[in-house]
């Protein structure tokens, strides 16, 4: 497949609300494949379609437990609170402390159109929230404290 260039902070698409996916098609399959390849090429844990310049509500996440693909994901339940360092492929060289829900329930569809429901905690919950934020035009910078530059 293809590895896309990551869109970086300052590009308008990162601040727009991504469009909901209607009908599933080969184009969505190709998008998911390319997002997977891009995620692994950049050694990230999550990627949202706007980060590769595509205004679609599609994310991929892999925190070491295998790839999760979600179309039209929604956070339907949150519980608890945790603060931890976060970075972002679209904001290279920066990290900051972000407070997020400790546990979440997320729904969406897989590439076959089947409904998925995920219960997540730890890094998985954090990554899902971070990527869903991207779909709403929110960057981790908007929530971060103690921002610092890293090499």
CB 42 within 8 A of CB 51: no
Q: Is residue 111 part of a domain?
A: yes
- CATH number of the domain where residue 116 is located: 3.90.45.10
Q: How many helices (H) and strands (E) does the chain have?
A: 2, 8
Name the DSSP letter for residue 48.
E
Q: Is residue 4 part of a domain?
A: no
Alpha-carbon distance of 41 to 100, in angstroms, equals: 27
If one counts the domains in the chain, the total is 1
The string of pLDDT tens digits covering residues 67-86 is 999 999 999 999 999 999 99
What is the value of pTM for the model shown?
Answer: 0.96
The string of pLDDT tens digits covering residues 5-42 is 999 999 999 999 999 999 999 999 999 999 999 999 99
Q: Is residue 1 part of a domain?
A: no
Structural domain including 29 reads: 12-149
pLDDT classification of 151: cutoffs 50, 70, 90: confident
The string of pLDDT tens digits covering residues 118-146 is 999 999 999 999 999 999 999 999 999 99
**Active-site residue set:** 131
Q: Is residue 76 part of a domain?
A: yes
Q: Is residue 3 part of a domain?
A: no
């Amino acid at each position: 497949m293809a590895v896309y260039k990551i869109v970086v902070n300052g590009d308008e698409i990162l601040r727009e609300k991504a469009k909901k996916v209607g009908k599933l098609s080969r184009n969505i399959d190709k998008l998911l494949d390319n997002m997977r390849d891009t995620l692994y090429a950049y050694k990230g844990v999550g990627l949202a379609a706007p980060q590769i310049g595509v205004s679609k509500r599609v994310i991929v996440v892999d925190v070491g437990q295998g790839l999760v693909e979600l179309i039209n994901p929604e956070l339907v339940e949150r519980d608890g609170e945790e603060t931890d360092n976060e970075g972002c492929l679209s904001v290279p060289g920066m990290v900051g402390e972000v407070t997020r829900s400790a546990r979440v329930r997320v729904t969406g569809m897989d590439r076959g159109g089947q409904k998925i429901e995920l219960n997540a905690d730890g890094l998985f919950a954090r990554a899902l929230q971070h990527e869903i934020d991207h779909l709403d035009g929110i960057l981790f910078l908007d929530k971060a404290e103690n921002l610092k530059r890293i090499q």
